[in-house]
Amino acid sequence: MGSDLISNVTVIGTGQMGPGIALVVNLAGLPVNLIGLSIEEVARGLRNYQAALNFLVEHGAVAPEKAAQAQTLLKTSLNIEDARSADLVIEAIVEHLPTKQELFQRLDALCPKETILASNTSGLRISDIAACMTHHPERAVTTHFWNPGHLMPLVEVIQGEKTSDATVQKTYEFLKSCGKQPVIGRKDLPGQICNRLFQAVIREAIYLVQEGIATPQDVETAIKAGMGLRFPVYGPLEHLDAVGLDLGIAVQTTVLPSLCNSVEPGELLRSLVADGKLGAKSGQGFYNWSERSVTELQRTRDLFLVERLKEAHK
C-alpha cells in the first residue's frame, strides 16, 4: 500500500511518462486521477497505460488480479481544477520551462498548502519551475521517474532552493512505499544526479568515436560487457573502496588529463545534427536505422528490465 501520508494522487500529463507513473501508483493500491488536455490525449494515455499493464501481466511481473484492481483505481479528467483534492500532484507535461512555470503557479493557487507539487522534469531545476509560486514554494519538489517509469526502479527526488526538508522526506517515503528506489539530491543542479553521470559517459563515448579511437559498436560493447554489467551491484564508489583509494588516485592521475572536458556538445554530435542525421527518427545517426529497428531495441530493453523487476519482487 502507499504511504499513510499520501492517499490520493493526481498525475498531469498523458504523454510518454504520465501513464506509467499513474500505473506505478495504482499498483501500490492508491487512486490516481490522470489529467490530460484533450479527449484525444487522454485516450492515448489510457492506451499507453493499458499497454504497460498488459506487458507486466504478460511477463509475470504483476498478477492478473492485481492488474484488475489497479485499473479500478484510475480515473481521468480534462480539468486541472480536479487536482484540488490531491495529496500529491505529479506534473509530467512538456519539458518547457515557461509551460511548467505557468502550471505550477496555477496549482500553487489552487491546491491546499499541504499538497505536494512534484515535477517529473528530467533536466530543468525545480527552483526555476517554482519561481512563480507565491503561496507555498516550499512544497515544490522534483520526482524524476526514469523512463520507462513502470519498469525502472529509480526516481530522483531533488530539493529546490525553497523546498522544505519535510516535503523531500514525505515524497521519498511515498516513492519507497510504491516500490521505487528513490535517491535524494540536496542541491538543485541541471540534470539532477543520474543524468549528470550519464551525460559524462555520453560525452566521453562521443569523443572516443569522434577521435577515431573506437567505433560506436565497440564503445557500447565496452560499456554493456564491462562496467555496465556490474553496475547493478557494484557502483563506482564501491569499486574505488574495494580496489583502494590510493590506486584510484594513481589511475585518475594518468587518465583524467586525456578525458574530454568540453562544456559544449561534441563536434561529431553537432555535425550529425547539422546534416539532418537525428537518429532513429530520421533513419540515420550514429547508426543506420534503415538496417536496425529502434522498436525492437526498446523491446529488448523492456524485456531485460521486466526480468529485473521480477527478481526484485522475489
Place of cell 521486466: 306
User: Of the listed 77, 147, 164, 195, which one is catalytic?
Assistant: 195
3-class DSSP state of 237: helix
Amino acid 260 reads: C
Buried (b) or exposed (e) across 196-211, using 16+ Cβ within 10 A? eeeeeeebebbbbbee
Would residue 288 show up in a list of annotated catalytic residues for this protein?
Answer: no
In angstroms, the Cα distances linking 212 to 6, 199, 219, 223, 243 are 53, 20, 11, 17, 31
Q: Residue 261 has which C-alpha cell?
A: 572536458
3-class DSSP state of 25: helix
Would residue 195 show up in a list of annotated catalytic residues for this protein?
Answer: yes
Would residue 313 show up in a list of annotated catalytic residues for this protein?
Answer: no
* CA nearest neighbour of 146 among 201, 200, 92: 92
Would residue 85 show up in a list of annotated catalytic residues for this protein?
Answer: no
Angle between helices 236-243 and 245-255 (to 10 degrees): 110
Per-state percent for the chain, helix, strand, coil, to nearest 5? 50, 15, 35
Cβ(9)–Cβ(87) below 8 Å = yes
3-class DSSP state of 311: helix
User: Of the listed 91, 144, 150, 177, which one is catalytic?
Assistant: 144
Amino acid 41 reads: E
Place of cell 541541471: 190
Cβ(53)–Cβ(67) below 8 Å = yes
User: Of the listed 8, 77, 122, 164, which one is catalytic?
Assistant: 122
* CA nearest neighbour of 124 among 188, 198, 190, 194: 190
Rounded to whole angstroms, the Cα distance separating 53 from 63 reads 10
Residues involved in catalysis: 122, 144, 156, 195
